[in-house]
Structure 1
Amino acid sequence: MNRLKPYITLLKTNHQFRRVWLSQIISNFGDWFGVIAVFTIILQYSDSEFLLGMVIVVKFLAFAALSPFAGFLADRYDRRMLMLLCDFGRGAVVLSFLFVRDPSMLWLVYMLTAMQMGFAAVFEPAKQASIPNITSAEELVKANIISNLSWSIIFTTGMGIGGLATAWFGTDAVFVINGLGYIMSTWFIFRATIPHERSEETLESLRNPIRGILDGYAYIFANPHILRPALAKGTITFFLGALVYMLILVSEDILMMGSIGLGMLYASRGFGTAVGPVLVRRFISDETKWVTLMGVTMLSAGSFYLIIGSIEIIWLMLLLVFFAHCGSGANWVMSTVLLQKRSPDAYRGRIFGSEWLLFTTSQGLSVTGASLIMEFDLLTLQQAMLVYAAGLVAAGILWLSFIAQKERRWQRTDSDQTVQHHVRESVALEER
């Protein structure tokens, strides 16, 4: 219980973060609660593995398409108001899934999914850019761990309960709960105060959206210490996205357990993403090591999935999925915290928008490749899992060989410059 005390204290004392956090809990639960219902509609009205994969691809490509503009909006306009509008919009969109009543309406699933993710594309950079504005430097890591832990628990329970609810009550009831959850979450954001001060110079630079977006990209590439953590999520998901998608097929074709098996596998994934960041804070709190550790998480996740792709034992699969996603969860929180700390507020929305662009594009390409492989029987399911897992292992090795080494050189240079700065200050004081 003592280990939870810092997190409980943060929620008790920081009212603004607590309100944003409660909003996240409600909207995330509605989000994951409805995922299996969408999958069920696709499988109900078609028997195509490709179409099932495409709904995931549409999610991430729609998110990617709007991410650059979303980051601009998060820097230009009131972030609290953006989050309010986006959650209300997502609620209305999800309720519209009720209009899909026969195979001829399947196109509406993809259109609504794209709209839902369009709102999410604006919401996420606004939320992540806001966290440093409502927490102190000491609270920031704990705040991100709470957010990730909550996401993981909700992901686990939401997917599991959603799978059961879809089987017992049907997709309509699930979509109603999902939509109302989004709308309910707006109440907590409405009650939150989120400071967002922008100088006249910043506002002037953001008058032109294209110029503002390009300035954001230029800033990222001009600052490699920001670029490195911004690459982490996109790199790992380029391979992990396909592997997570293939867990759906593992449950259907190998375990023969349908939505129940999928709920169990995704629950293991959720528990892993929750535990990983806590272990990092407990045992590797030195942030100078985090970029290197990101490569280790890629290597370990890929290694575990290599084994998953070779077995058919449910309890062992669940255990290995848990361990693999301990790494992905740690990767997520470490990269998020480093970006929040290293990014100035004037650029933070565009930086997170760019990160989400890379992440969602990687995810979309990853799932597209895997779904095409499955649709045209280019590889068996287990062979495809082995290919993507091996790719993730290779990505981890390359990260450790190049990205991590550049980070260590930057750390040494930054440390030397800090020492020289202190020496110059000491000399100046002595001369006075």
Structure 2
Amino acid sequence: MASPLSVLTGNRDFRRLFTAQLVVFGSDWFVMVPLLVLLPELTGSGVWGALVLAVDTGINAVLLPYTGTVADRLDRRAILIAANVAALVAMLLLFLVRSSATAPLALVAIGAVAVAKAFYSPAASAALPNVVDPEDLAAANAVAGSAWGTMTIVGASLGGIVSSAFGPYVSFAVAAAGLAAAAGLTALIRRPLQAPRDTSAPPPRTWHALIEALRYIGARPRIRALVTVKSAVGLGNGVLTVFPLLAGVYGVGSLGAGALFAVRGAGALVGPLVMRSVLNHRTWLLPGLALSMSLYGLGYIGVAAAPWFPLVLALVFVAHFAGGTNWVLSNYALQGEVPDRLRGRVFATDMMLATLAISVSQLGAALFVDHVDERVILVGCGLITVLYAVGWRIATRHLTLADTAPENGDGQPTDDDTARIDGTRGTD
């Protein structure tokens, strides 16, 4: 069995894809942390930061059903490069955010970056199985699942440090340079990022392709369970809205806000690596997902009661240890269940539901952030996640992932699988 280190050092194309993702995620946090501190300083309100977070995730939720079909129809390498370049151009608007009057430009810029990310994310997730051998997929997922967490640590920490030392606009410039580097790394990947397609017939229209994927999901209880699991952590994500405010409560400023986001990333990084053994026991996946959701919610309920900042950091780490594990376990299970020709659309649906849940949570937090104590928001988000986890586990208690979805050697569904997509056979 391959180890995360061996697949990273022995596969040049996977290393390039992973490094490009590291840079993209790092650039995201080099922008977001300074911006979430800058906007309250310019406007005197926490609402703008909440709106930035909601726009970032909400636009993703709206676009992902479409961008998933694009990831299945067009060259994924071209999609990844174009998304990086488009995000770079959009970030230039942030240099104009200098006062409360220009604060709305931050929403425009982050909205445009979110459009680019909506194209990038499903294409990158769907491409991963194509740059590694099948026996290396579990190890590759453990590594790839750490990309976001790694760069939340590095990006959030360095973003806070650079912003404190040199100002937020230097952080924005570093982020733009990083996106240019990511585009260059992706261009160097030599393996194709999707399985060969049948070119004898024109590709299906977007809505037909989307409906096909939704019918595929709807016909399979296991897939339905997996594409709804990330929503639990998503509905608890309104806690991020109060991170800059918590830093103010404890008197730790920009560095403290960066530390909160960095510890969040550390948990998301360590969780998938420590819990990697679960990936090799498919019968453990569904119970593990329920447990990880619950631990996330309980972690933030604990944050609300924590009397000092170091304990807050420790509990945020625990919560996102669970959240990162949740993300990687569900991604790995989906990659094993879904054929390549549908994978981009199914991952887009998965991410759409997760980001929609995040947007709802952050908009809800925005309604209350200037009117209630920060701890009320923390407890509310934590309880919502725990209750969702309990309900999800009750609904999925009879399911198992012990056997894999039927699929032939070229990544296409078997005749039986296709029949179920068309609705002419029973469900799993």
Q: What is the distance in 1 between the residues matched to 2:404 and 2:97?
A: 58
Matched, 1:164 2:153: no
Q: Aligned ranges for residues 164-243 of structure 1 at < 5 Å?
A: 164-195=161-192, 196-200=194-198, 204=202, 206-239=203-236, 241-243=237-239
Q: What is the distance in 2 between the residues matched to 1:345 and 1:412?
A: 18
Note the residue ranges of structure 1 that are not aligned, 5 or more in a row.
416-432
Q: Aligned ranges for residues 18-417 of structure 1 at < 5 Å?
A: 18-195=15-192, 196-200=194-198, 204=202, 206-239=203-236, 241-252=237-248, 254-282=249-277, 285-375=280-370, 377=371, 379-403=372-396, 405-408=397-400, 411=402
Greater radius of gyration (CA) = 1
- Asked if the contact 1:255/1:312 (under 8 Å) is kept, the reply is no
Q: 1:210 to 1:279 in 2, by over 3 A?
A: same
Note the residue ranges of structure 2 that are not aligned, 5 or more in a row.
407-428
Q: What is the distance in 1 between the residues matched to 2:278 and 2:222?
A: 23
Q: 1:236 to 1:203 in 2, by over 3 A?
A: farther
Mean Cα deviation higher: 47-56 or 206-215: 206-215
- Asked if the contact 2:247/2:257 (under 8 Å) is kept, the reply is yes
Q: 1:50 to 1:102 in 2, by over 3 A?
A: closer
Q: What is the distance in 1 between the residues matched to 2:191 and 2:78?
A: 10
- Asked if the contact 1:236/1:395 (under 8 Å) is kept, the reply is no
Deviation of the 1:326 alpha carbon: 1.0
Deviation of the 1:285 alpha carbon: 3.2
Q: What is the distance in 1 between the residues matched to 2:25 and 2:178?
A: 8
- Asked if the contact 2:268/2:325 (under 8 Å) is kept, the reply is yes
Q: What is the distance in 1 between the residues matched to 2:398 and 2:347?
A: 22
Report SS of the residue matched to 2:230: helix
Q: 1:17 to 1:407 in 2, by over 3 A?
A: same
**Higher helix proportion (structure 1 or 2):** 1
Q: What is the distance in 1 between the residues matched to 2:79 and 2:336?
A: 22
Report SS of the residue matched to 1:101: coil
Report SS of the residue matched to 2:399: helix
Q: Residue in 2 aligned with 1:420?
A: none
- Asked if the contact 2:229/2:392 (under 8 Å) is kept, the reply is no
Q: May I ask how many residue pairs the two structures share in their alignment?
A: 405
Q: Which 4+ stretches in 1 moved above 4 angstroms?
A: 410-415
Deviations 1:52-84 (A, max 9, x none): 210100101111111111001000100011001
Deviation of the 1:115 alpha carbon: 0.6
Deviation of the 1:165 alpha carbon: 0.8
Q: What TM-score, normalized by structure 2, do the two folds share?
A: 0.90
Q: Residue in 2 aligned with 1:422?
A: none
- Superposition CA RMSD, Å: 2.1
Report SS of the residue matched to 2:103: helix
- Asked if the contact 1:76/1:203 (under 8 Å) is kept, the reply is no
Letter in 2 for 1:130: A
Letter in 1 for 2:253: G
Q: What TM-score, normalized by structure 1, do the two folds share?
A: 0.89
Deviation of the 1:140 alpha carbon: 1.1
Deviation of the 1:402 alpha carbon: 1.6
Q: 1:67 to 1:414 in 2, by over 3 A?
A: closer
- Asked if the contact 1:45/1:103 (under 8 Å) is kept, the reply is yes
Deviation of the 1:411 alpha carbon: 4.7
Q: Residue in 1 aligned with 2:410?
A: none
Letter in 1 for 2:377: A
Q: What is the distance in 2 between the residues matched to 1:322 and 1:203?
A: 50
Mean Cα deviation higher: 64-73 or 300-309: 300-309
Mean Cα deviation higher: 64-73 or 26-35: 26-35
Mean Cα deviation higher: 66-75 or 150-159: 150-159
Mean Cα deviation higher: 44-53 or 83-92: 44-53
Letter in 1 for 2:318: F
Letter in 1 for 2:375: Q
Deviations 1:109-143 (A, max 9, x none): 11111110100000010000001111122211211
- Asked if the contact 2:153/2:261 (under 8 Å) is kept, the reply is yes
